[in-house]
Amino acid sequence: MTAHEGNVGNQVVETLRWRDGRLEMIDQRVLPAKFEYLAYNSAVEVAEGIRSMVVRGAPAIGCAAAYGVALEALRLRAATSGEFTAAMNTAFEVLAASRPTAVNLFWALKRMRAVWESVKGDSVGAIADRLLTEAHEVTAEDIRINRAMGAFGAALLPDGARVLTHCNAGALATAGHGTALGVIRSAVEAGKKIAVIADETRPFLQGARLTAWEMVQEKIPVTLITDNMAGYMMSHGEVDAVVVGTDRVAANGDVANKIGTYMVAVLAKRHGIPFYVACPLSTIDVSIPDGTAIPIEERAAEEVTGFRECQWAAPGVSVRNPAFDVTPAELVTGLITEKGVVLQPDREKVAALFGG
Ligand code: MRU
């Protein structure tokens, strides 16, 4: 893996990009202090990039996994058909084990496997080319979907709205435009004056480091708060709407998202503030009946006891670090999807999105 400086300026940020036969991803661990791309050549490397949070955010993880599959196939161009099959199966397993909660990872792997199955009789080289084409398509489609969600979501936000968001569901969490921040970007593009309130998002600081950075880059007004200030802001009439992203939505409309989202949803309900979830269909897992069955990632204690090298908690203290929580569907004002807005989501309305 090699690093080189990227260019920000007025340029659109590409979270993932295909360059010279390899995948490059912005290293989100070092933003905003450094803007640099890391290059990836194999499924194992991409899985490590997902696990270590170089790339994060549900749709971006899905795109990275699709490229991971394609990279592996390209790497195996000279292999026999038997070697190719064995190594590809391992690649799928390694990628699937990288992070547990965002269903887009498994959605993308299923899609890539289906493509592989559909061309299994072809030469190894032809299969590899087909898988790369599909990875490009997964990525291009993500941007189209985000723009569609953005248009539906933008219509929900009044001109002058002050919108609170949690974590980073922006361009960095997707192939581009973003889901929750995509709604905000689309509203701004439509001529609305929108001000963003970004929760810092302890412990990994996606709000402070990534959402604030994206908004500052684009000169969209943004105010950073710590997570425990959301109730204060709402009770003082300083929040008009909440828009967040999601990592997995269950069949009944329960929403898993970054830890702290549930707290924000309860507060929004208490204060009569609409709570919207920007949710591509690839993030809905109809095989999961409700939120209690969504696997929740537990991360390292060091993320809670400090940040990077600076550790402030008493050594030896016991720590919990669930990375996501589940907001019950009853607290969700609307799911913003690429097919339209599902108000007060429930099992029937979610099934209807899939023609059920
Ligand atoms: O742990 P992360 O940074 O991958 O968590 C990301 C989130 O929780 C996002 O809100 C979610 O993936 C939606 S991104 C469009």
Element (H, E) at 4: strand 3-5
DSSP 8-state symbol, 298: B
**Got the DSSP string for 201-244?**
-TTTTHIIIIIHHHHHHTT--EEEE-GGGHHHHHHTT--SEEEE
Q: Is the pTM of this model over 0.85?
A: yes
pLDDT given at position 7 = 42
**Which residue has its alpha carbon closest to ligand 1 atom 5?**
57
Superfamily of domain 2-146: translation initiation factor eif-2b, domain 1 (1.20.120.420)
pLDDT given at position 6 = 43
248 lines ligand 1 (CB under 6 A): no
Residue 153 CA to residue 177 CA, distance in Å, equals: 13
Distance 70 CA to ligand 1 centre (A): 24
Residue 294 CA to residue 325 CA, distance in Å, equals: 9
Distance 64 CA to ligand 1 centre (A): 14
Vertex 186, ends 181 and 187: CA angle to 5°?
95
Q: CA-CA distances (angstroms) from residue 222 to 8, 71, 198, 218? A: 19, 38, 7, 10
Residue 314 CA to residue 307 CA, distance in Å, equals: 14
Torsion of CA 40, 46, 51, 55, to 10 degrees: 60
The answer to whether the beta carbons of residues 62 and 102 sit under 8 Å apart is yes
Distance of CA 98 to the CA centre of its chain: 14
Residue 199 CA to residue 227 CA, distance in Å, equals: 5
Looking at ligand 1, which atom is closest to the CA of residue 56? 4
Residue that is written with structure tokens 């899939």 in the block: 354
Is the N-terminal amide bond of 295 cis, ω within 30° of 0?
no
Residue 118 CA to residue 127 CA, distance in Å, equals: 9
98 lines ligand 1 (CB under 6 A): no
Domain borders along the chain are 2-146, 150-353
274 lines ligand 1 (CB under 6 A): no
Amino acid residing at 94? V
pLDDT string in tens for the chain (356-residue length): 444 444 455 446 899 999 999 999 999 999 999 999 999 999 999 999 999 999 999 999 999 999 999 999 999 999 999 999 999 999 999 999 999 999 999 999 999 999 999 999 999 999 999 999 999 999 999 999 999 999 999 999 999 999 999 999 999 999 999 999 999 999 999 999 999 999 999 999 999 999 999 999 999 999 999 999 999 999 999 999 999 999 999 999 999 999 999 999 999 999 999 999 999 999 999 999 999 999 999 999 999 999 999 999 999 999 999 999 999 999 999 999 999 999 999 999 999 999 97
Q: Which of 167, 185, 324, 325 to mutate to test the pocket of ligand 1 (most atoms within 8 A of CB)?
A: 167
169 lines ligand 1 (CB under 6 A): yes
Residue 224 CA to residue 240 CA, distance in Å, equals: 16
Domain boundaries 150-353, CATH class: alpha beta
Q: Of 92, 87, 95, which Cα lies nearest the Cα of 50? A: 95
Residue 289 CA to residue 252 CA, distance in Å, equals: 6
pLDDT given at position 4 = 44
Kindly report the number of other CB atoms within 10 A of residue 13's CB atom: 19
